[in-house]
Amino acid sequence: MSGIGTLLVANRGEIARRVFRTARAMGMRCAAVFSDADATAPFVVEADVAVRLPGGYLDGESVVAAAHAVGADAVHPGYGFLAENAGFARAVTGAGLAWVGPSPEAIETMGDKLAAKAAAAAAGVPTLPSAEDPADAADVGFPLMVKAAAGGGGKGMRLVSDPAELAEAVAAARREALGGFGDDTVFLERYLPRCRHIEVQILGDAHGNIVHLGERECSIQRRHQKIIEESPSTAVGDELRAAIGEAAVALATSIGYQSAGTVEMLLDDYTGEFFFLEVNTRLQVEHPVTEEVTGIDLVREQLRIAEGDRLGYSQADIAIAGHAIEARLYAEDAAAGFLPAVGTLSAFAPAPEPAVRWDSGVEAGTEVGLDFDPMLAKVIVHAPTRAEAAGRLALALERLHIGGVTTNRHFLAAALRSEAFLCGDTTTDFIERTEPSRAANLSETECQHAAVAAAMWLQAAERREARTLAWMPSGWRHGRLPPERADLAVEAGPAPVEVTVSYRPQRDGSFAVRAECGDAETEAPARVTGWSPGTLDVEWDRRLVRYAVTAEAGKVHLTGDAETVTVAVLARFGAPDRGLAAGGFAAPMPGVIVEVRAAAGEHVTAGTTLVVMEGMKMEHHVSAPCDGTVAEVLVAPGDQVDNGSVLLVFEPADSAAGKDGGG
């Protein structure tokens, strides 16, 4: 075909911006499609032209119509949504447009995990024992994994160790699979308790040339979703790399694969054996680590292949240089089981150093809601050594100025700096086994420093906004009056830490400052050496720190020599705190109630699931913490609830006994 003049990207956020970047470098005009929720998103603003989709990103008919409306020559599906939809691929080519991806037949075969497994076995790739009928679970053996046949991304997956839990796991996986992929088919597969998730990147052109670009390891996962990926794997040597690569190419060749794709394997950490897992017939989220170590732009290769070009290189021409690591920054609360978080990004500004690659779909002011996956950015580092890459990536995450939304930033940095990670001990049970710190827990001294910095920035800001006597130094008084006072709360871990900062201006321009926090009380002079709406240079208690600062209503976000700290201004005379009723169960995240499994007055045992709710198309079970009675149920299936909404009132058995005079 002739070259692509206008490319429509049938996706959103980070991947849309990523494809735009390469397409523009190749001289292509870029078109976007968007839903109502994304009308002001960065990728929409950056597109040369954008078309609103009345039915959202899964409305393939509207996407094809949009492509014609903007004069597009080709459609790139990104990942997710319609990327692995064979019907959509046929609709694109049937409309006379080039499809940037593999053939619909390859998508169909590999998109069904059961069909893909059969194709892998036929190509001589080792596979794990599996069964389509839950009644055959004993033949598979426990522990086993219930998996959606049509999906990925961790949705529709349940680990089952006890046969008694199988029926509920199958039902839950089917619900997630139906909601996420429109197909509730699931199957059972043997679970390897200590293994590594290894991916092989493949490229194939329309002329029969197929190569692999080495492997990625994506073993560090929560909820079966990857969060840290790297290339090459520390567990794969030259001989194993050749064997896995040859197996991936054999499978791709057997189905005449074209474009970029990924053959995923499980590597048993005990035996060194590898087994076929699945094929992703699209670009992967973690594709940048392969780009960094090979120097090959995978989006460019996809576009070249779609234009009919030959690869132009052989397997012998591909070399791996250095080490690359990617971390996925999510809006989620790692300390609360990695539950999704929502809010507005009041601050989002990567530090200029260290130099890393940021692939992001957000900016300051972006609203993070429940409509889409909560990934904010991918942070990618390429370095001569793995240790250097890990250190640089951790530092880049720590120096990111971000506020307004809870993220997994601290957890990622802690994982990258952990001894287990640095030693390459990164099997799929990494999080549960090594337990990296999930949230920053600041000391009283660190809380004092953050509060003093916030107080100094606020007093300078107030003075510069003064409408009268603006020339007067901050805090100046004709007579000697009591010090100014700021009551602040530092977000320092599980609960905010209250700090009272008192300050009085001195004749030399400094301030006499006292910070009181719990049992700690520090008194030292403070000097503001630099101030702007977005920065603060302050010296206090012998420490001079430059902060990036973002203020919003009642809060100040400060990033200095550590991660961003949020400091809230407390009202001097607050309203009474009504709090949550005793025994009230609060929603751990915004979402929809799927099931209510307990009725008012019902006696339940510890661990019983009381409410099932869904957020980001993932299910969360609210369970009884102990034996007790459900006193009141306040929600019903289908209800939309906010984070913190009271779901039911629960009365522990001990509490009931106490009321009756027992115990």
**Residue 170 CB neighbour total at 10 angstroms:** 19
Instruction: Quote the pLDDT of residue 480.
Output: 60
CA 554 from centroid of its chain's CA atoms:
27
> Using one digit for the tens of pLDDT, what is the confidence trace for 30-42?
999 999 999 999 9
Sign of the C-alpha dihedral computed for residues 590, 596, 601 and 604 taken in this order: negative
- For 129-190, CATH gives 3.30.1490.20
| CB 95, CB 64: distance < 8 Å | yes
Within 13 A of 476's CA, how many CA atoms are on the CB side?
Answer: 11
> Using one digit for the tens of pLDDT, what is the confidence trace for 317-332?
999 999 999 999 999 9
**Residue 661 binned pLDDT confidence (cut-offs 50, 70, 90):** very low
Between the ranges 104-118, 225-239, 490-504, where is the mean pLDDT highest? 225-239
Tokens at 418, concatenated:
């952990």
Fold of 6-100: Rossmann fold (3.40.50)
Buried b (16+ CB within 10 A) or exposed e, 237-262: eeebbeebbebbbbbbeebebbbbbb
Domain 444-569 classification at class level: alpha beta
Domain 584-659 classification at class level: mainly beta
| CB 559, CB 546: distance < 8 Å | no
CA distance 631 to 181: 37
Q: Indicate if the pLDDT at residue 183 is higher than 50.
A: yes
Give the residue from 226, 113, 127, 221 showing the smallest Cα distance to 173. Answer: 113
Q: What is the maximum alpha-carbon separation in the chain?
A: 90
Distances (CA, A) of 115 to 128, 133, 256, 275, 421: 14, 15, 15, 16, 35
CA distance 355 to 271: 39
**Residue 472 binned pLDDT confidence (cut-offs 50, 70, 90):** low
Average pLDDT of the chain, as a whole number: 91
**Residue 615 binned pLDDT confidence (cut-offs 50, 70, 90):** low
Domain 195-434 classification at class level: alpha beta
> Using one digit for the tens of pLDDT, what is the confidence trace for 116-127?
999 999 999 999
Instruction: Quote the pLDDT of residue 150.
Output: 81
Tokens at 459, concatenated:
């007093």
CA distance 173 to 187: 10
Instruction: Quote the pLDDT of residue 467.
Output: 47
Q: What are phi and psi of 72, to 5 degrees?
A: -70, 150
Domain boundaries, the chain: 6-100, 129-190, 195-434, 444-569, 584-659
Instruction: Quote the pLDDT of residue 642.
Output: 77
